[in-house]
Amino acid sequence: MVAGVDEVGRGAWAGPVSVGVALVDRSGLERLPEGLRDSKQLSARSRELMFPALVACCLGYAVGHASAEECDELGMTGAQRLAARRALQSLEIVPDAVVVDGPYDFTGHPSAVALPRADERVRSVAAASVLAKVSRDRLLVEAASEHPGYGFERNKGYPSPEHRHAVARLGMTPIHRRSWTFSSPPASG
């Protein structure tokens, strides 16, 4: 049993770093939705529409999160490891191996293979990418109602002019990563 693993949220200023794990057998691979690819190459609407079909094709899936505070305390690599451990431990089926998107293994799984651009080449990794992205995006949309004015429902915690202006104007929220360097807002008009 081989699981695909991918992370999202590494470059965000706010919210968690999230790691998705998709455990898909041969029959599940054949049923994965047409057009599946790395989450960054799909629109938000396409990802949302694809989410239930991906869940139905997986023998198991999980998304683990490491909070902004944990990102600050552990650093990004440590936070990725924590989120991956949480995701892998919540699976009901233990994978024999994992394929991780990227140049290094952050899962700690004894049979992990790190593969750059795996989210473009391995369908289970693409599935993990979409599952993680949709799950994280939903958290940031919820956070938008708790922290109005930052545009989290649009920027999902990533750097944007709107987000920069909000931090300069309103300060940081509890879901902001305090160890990140925030660029000063662009000059207005």
Is 172 part of any domain? Answer: no
Is 159 part of any domain? Answer: no
Is 156 part of any domain? Answer: no
What is the spatial distance between Cα 58 and Cα 107, in angstroms, rounded to a whole number? 19
Tokens of 13: 């200023």
Q: pTM for the complete prediction?
A: 0.92
Render pLDDT for 33-71 as a digit per residue (tens, 0 to 9): 988 988 888 899 999 999 999 999 999 999 999 999 999
pLDDT at 188 over 80: no
SS3 content of the chain, % helix, strand, coil (to 5): 45, 15, 35
Is 40 part of any domain? Answer: yes
User: With 0-12 CB in 10 A as exposed, 13-18 as middle and 19+ as buried, what is 59?
Assistant: middle
Count of structural domains, the chain: 1
Q: Which amino acid is at 21?
A: V
CATH of the domain at 99: 3.30.420.10
Tokens of 187: 């000059």
From first CA to last CA, the distance across the chain in angstroms is 56
Is 153 part of any domain? Answer: no
Is 158 part of any domain? Answer: no
User: With 0-12 CB in 10 A as exposed, 13-18 as middle and 19+ as buried, what is 124?
Assistant: buried
Confidence of residue 182 (pLDDT cuts 50, 70, 90): low
Q: Give the single-character DSSP code of 38.
A: -
Domain range enclosing 117: 2-138
Render pLDDT for 87-113 as a digit per residue (tens, 0 to 9): 999 999 999 999 999 999 999 999 999
